[in-house]
Structures are given as structure tokens and as C-alpha cells.
Amino acid sequence: MGWEDTSVPFWDSTTAQNGKFRTPNMAAFAATAEKFTNAYANSICTPSRVSLMTGMSAGRHRVTNWTMFKDKAVDAKDSLLKAPDWNVNGLSPVPGDSRSVYATPLPEILRQNGYYTIHCGKAHFGAYQTPGADPLNIGFVKNIGGSAAGNPASYLAEADFGYDPDHFNVRADIPNMQQYWGTPTFLTEDLTIEAKKAMDTALALQKSFFLYMAHYAVHLPYNADKRFVQKYLDAGYTKPEAAYLALVEGMDKSLGDLLDYLKEKGLDQNTIVVFMSDNGGFSHAPRQGADNTQNYPLRNGKGSLYEGGIREPMMIKWPGVTLANSVSDQPVIIQDFYPTILSMAGIKNYRTVQKIDGQSMMPYLKNPKKVNNQRELVWNFPNGWVGELKARIVPGLVPFVKETGS
């Protein structure tokens, strides 16, 4: 989900891209939360998710590209450049796994400190047949739908989410969601229902919970969500673009449903809610328009280190701490959530096997006007994602990609 893939502006004004989307629940949430206008992730999903779960930068954990099969790189072929020896197997909770980063995962620390830890949706922390592929191995006690897959084969429950018993497909095996097979439902809605059930379990156990709600939306494939897509078709958008807009609106409904759940259960005043994406908006076909225009005025998109690929929408509501409808311009990055969430939970003196690169966002949550202009953010994506590079780095020249959006 890109920086502008919402009706909520994360700039100093509303953009034309913002105007395409219908996200009333995100808008309502923003009115109660603190909005971060300079929030960043990595340009690809798995590196961001590993940074979130370990507190490490991609340059340190070296899971710099997305993962798929054990010991198999996914880099696009290039006639001049050789793919780096990166950690193709992703995150591992145990030492000694080949081409993996060994780390103490965030949910494991939370679990050890009494939290009922729930994973719901996309995991994509590790390659197929590695320990990190299963969220239960990294500290989650409940896994709904998470595996080595980076996207579903289908969002349609009536198509069994793409499952075919005669043809193996990592993306078609969405764990613990078979009960929806053959029904006229959509994956985004089904995951939301299961997330609420998991929170019910936490309440029954009288335990605090950590819900990592990681929707597969808005990743490809762009299956049309029949609840929302028609108005976008009527507005003249292409079928893929209309489906993309509907995927965003379906995710917006999920946010609203989860916030309603917290209010109904009397949890809205003692539950912290964080909204964040894992990389910039997809900016190639089948999206409508010329390549790399979908995130304008930011340049490029997912898979790029230009701002269109790394700048994200981010909001945090912490009752009693953050100010409603406030804005922070402080630059933050996805690994910052690791120390921040543990601090929010009051967990001190925790031990990790890895060095934490993330910095706590607590000062900016308590005072949105505070800005540390000395903060440096660093990315590492030495991989090919969209095919052979069209531009080469000239020896002696350093490409500068920081943009202001102006």
C-alpha cells in the first residue's frame, strides 16, 4: 500500500491520487490518531517484515529481497550484475540455519511477557520449508493464514483461495482458512472475522493480546471484491485498477470492523492501534497508467529506493498518550517499531541475540512537534526486482534518492 493509497493525505495537501480512494475508516481513525508524514519501510515486503520482527536494518539482517523457496534466490537476471549472497531463507528463530538471519523475534518477547500473540494474514518472514515460514515458530501462539507465501493465489473463497489438490502452489495454501472454501466471501473479510475470534480467545483467557493484522491486500492478484468494485468500474477505471481500489476499500472496512470490535468490547481506551504499510505502492501493469506514475508526486514505486517505493502511510493511536488529529514530521523507519512496541508494553531489560538498529518513537508519540533532524535512515536493496537494470551506477558517483514530494 503506497503513501497515497488512501483518502487520508500524508503530505501538506491532498493529492490527485488521494482522491481516487474511498477510505472513510482510515479518515475517521486519523482524526483520533497521530499521523506520521515521513514514515518509511523497505522497498520490498520480506525485508520490511524481517526488520519489523527483528528491529534490524536490511543492511544488517541481509534479507534484502523477498523469499520463496529454501536456498533459492529470486533476483531477476542481469547481464552485467551478479546477485549478492543475501539471506534467501529469511528470518530464523534458531541458530545455524543456512542463509538466514538468526534473531530474537518481537512476538517471542511479547509472548514471554504474557501476551496472547496473534498472527493474521500474510507472514512471508521465511522461505518455504524453513523455520521462519511458520509464524508459530517466531513467537505467535495463533496463526491465521500465514505461511511462506507473499500473496494468495486468489482472494476468492469460492475458488478455495486458488487451492488445487493436483497442483502444488505455495500461494494457494492459506493455513487455517479452509472453512471458507466454497463460500461467496473475500479473503480480506474472512481474515477480519478470524482476527476477532482470536481476540475473543485472548479475552476468554484474560490475557493482553498482540494482534499482527497483516492483510494480503493490496498485493496482486487483483481479484475484484464484489462488495466495492462496481462504483470504480462505473467511474471509468480499468478492471485491474478498479479491483485495486476495491482491495484498498476492503482493507479500510476491515480497519473499521476491528476498531468497532475494540469499542464493543470496552477495549478502545486501553489498546494501542498502529497502521503501517510494508513497501510503496505497486507502479507497473496491470495498474492503470504508465509505469511509475501511480505514486506521483513521489517517484517510482515498490521495488525502488526512490520515495515512491519506501515512503508509507503511518498512524498510531495510543489512548492517553498520542494527541487526536496530530501530525509528526519526524522521519521514522519500520525497524523502529521493535523497541517502540516493547516500550509501549512496559517490557524492559529484554535480551536479544541481534543488535537493534531501530530507535524508539516514544519521544515523538508524547510530543508530535519534536523532531530529531540528525536522524539518519539507511536502506540496502542490492537486488534486481523488475528485470535488468536500465541505468548503471557510474564509478565515483553516488545516486541521491531523497525527495520532498514537491
Domain assignments of the chain as residue spans, ordered by start: 18-366
Q: Which residues, other chains included, contact 260 with Cβ-Cβ below 8 Å and sequence gap of 6+?
A: none
Name the β-bridge partners of 34: 316, 326
**Three-state secondary-structure class, residue 346:** coil
What is the reported pLDDT for 387?
54
End-to-end CA, the chain: 21
Q: What is the pLDDT of residue 237?
A: 98
CATH superfamily, domain 18-366, is Alkaline Phosphatase, subunit A (3.40.720.10)
| pLDDT at residue number 70 | 97
Q: Which three cell numbers stand for residue 313?
A: 502511510
Predicted TM-score (pTM) of the model is 0.94
For the chain (406 residues), the mean pLDDT of every run of 10, in chain order, is 97 95 98 98 97 98 97 89 92 97 98 98 98 98 98 98 95 96 98 98 98 98 98 98 98 98 98 98 96 95 96 98 98 98 97 98 98 93 68 38 37
Compute the distance between CA of residue 156 and CA of residue 346 in angstroms, rounded to an integer: 40
pLDDT for res 88 = 97
Indicate the DSSP class of residue 130.
S
Contact 255, 278 (CB under 8 A): no
Strand pairing of 34-40 and 311-317? Answer: antiparallel
Q: Give the DSSP letter of residue 134.
A: S
Model pLDDT for residues 192-209, shown as the tens digit of each residue: 999 999 999 999 999 999
Q: Which pLDDT score, from 0 to 100, does residue 384 have?
A: 82
| Dihedrals phi, psi of 110, to nearest 5 degrees | -65, -45
Q: How high is the pLDDT of residue 201?
A: 98
And the C-alpha cell for 275?
497502521
pLDDT on residue 256: 98
